[in-house]
Amino acid sequence: MAADNVQTFTDGNFETTVLKAGGPVLVDFWAEWCGPCKRLAPTIDQLAGEYAGKVTIGKLNVDDNPDTAFKFQIRGIPAVLLFKGGKVVEQVVGLAPKEEFKKAIDKHL
C-alpha cells in the first residue's frame, strides 16, 4: 500500500516518532473505508520520495488509532498535519493537490 519510505504511525509510537522527532513530520490521518484517502495515497507516496531525508512522512489509520486522532481533533479525513518541534504547524484537510502539500512543507524546511 505505502511506499518504502512512508512510515506507519500508531497510538503507541506517535509520541516518539512524531512529537519527539528532530525534524518536520507529515502525518496523513486516513481510514480504509475513505475514498478520498485512497486517492490521496499516491500523492503521499510521491512526497515521501521527494522529501526523503528531509521530512519524515507517514500515515495513521484513525480507526486503528483513535486516541491520537481524538487528541488532534481529527473530525474529517483525509487530514494531513505537519508537525515540527512537537506542534502542528500546518494542516490540510480533504483531498488537495500535491503542490499545496509541497508549499506547506517547504515553509518549514
Which band of pLDDT confidence, cut at 50, 70 and 90, is reported for residue 3? low
- Per the annotation, the verdict on 37 as an active-site residue is yes
The DSSP H or E segment spanning 81 is strand 79-84
Catalytic residue among 18, 27, 37, 40: 37
* 9 pLDDT above the threshold of 80: yes
* 2 pLDDT above the threshold of 80: no
Catalytic residue among 34, 89, 93, 96: 34
- Per the annotation, the verdict on 79 as an active-site residue is no
Domains in the chain, CATH or no CATH each: 6-106 (3.40.30.10)
**Entry field: residues in the chain:** 109
Reading phi first (left if > 0) and then psi (alpha if -120 to 50, else beta), residue 37 is in alpha
Q: What is the C-alpha separation between 77 and 19, in angstroms, rounded?
A: 20
Nearest C-alpha neighbor of 7 from the set 48, 38, 42:
48
User: Which tens digits make up the pLDDT trace of 33-89?
Assistant: 999 999 999 999 999 999 999 999 999 999 999 999 999 999 999 999 999 999 999
Task: Give residue 25's pLDDT.
Answer: 98
Task: Give residue 20's pLDDT.
Answer: 97
